[in-house]
Amino acid sequence: MPLSARGRSSGVLTPLELQIMQVLWDGGPGTVAAVQERLDADLAYTTVQTMLNVLLRKKKVRRTQEGRAFSYQAAVSRDGATKAALSDLVSRMFGGSPEALLMALVNTQQLTPEQLARAQRLAAGEDSEEEAK
């Protein structure tokens, strides 16, 4: 099945969908107007409403009635969305090989030797989340 920029079958978020999800992850639930206000972009109310409805159809958000408006909240975690995006990237760009992704990060100098050493410790179960902070 061909993938389009508008909607991927894998459930990976488009850039605008991701921007809206980040608002919900960082600021919690909100109405269309509240999400629009918290967005860095200058988007029309109807655009934000449409995107929230797309995310609802994709089951990325859920909504509840609050008076005359709906309040939207993230239905997927940031970690879940990250995992889906990485899986999609590894599958499409690296033939399903996480090692090929890692090697591309090293070859393009996206990882410092220190970051690579930490990744190695994490993979070996020797590093904790606390050390990352």
Q: What is the mean pLDDT of residues 30-45?
A: 94
Q: Which residue has the higher pLDDT, 133 or 27?
A: 27
Q: What is the mean pLDDT of residues 56-68?
A: 95
Global pTM reads 0.75
Residue 20: exposure state from Cβ atoms within 10 A (0-12, 13-18, ≥19)? buried
**For the ranges 26-30, 109-113, 115-119, the one whose mean pLDDT is highest:** 26-30
**Residues facing 74 on adjacent strands:** 61
Q: Which residues contact 86 (CB under 8 A, 6 or more apart)?
A: 101
Q: SS3 of 86, please?
A: helix
Residue 52 has pLDDT above 90, yes or no: yes
Which phi and psi (to 5°) does residue 62 adopt?
A: -130, 160
Q: What is the mean pLDDT of residues 102-117?
A: 91
Cβ proximity of 94 and 100 under 8 Å: yes
The Cα-based distances of 118 to 103, 111, 124, 132 in angstroms read 15, 10, 10, 9
Six-digit token string for 109: 């100098």
Residue 52: exposure state from Cβ atoms within 10 A (0-12, 13-18, ≥19)? buried
Q: Domains along the chain?
A: 1-93 (1.10.10.10), 97-133 (no CATH)
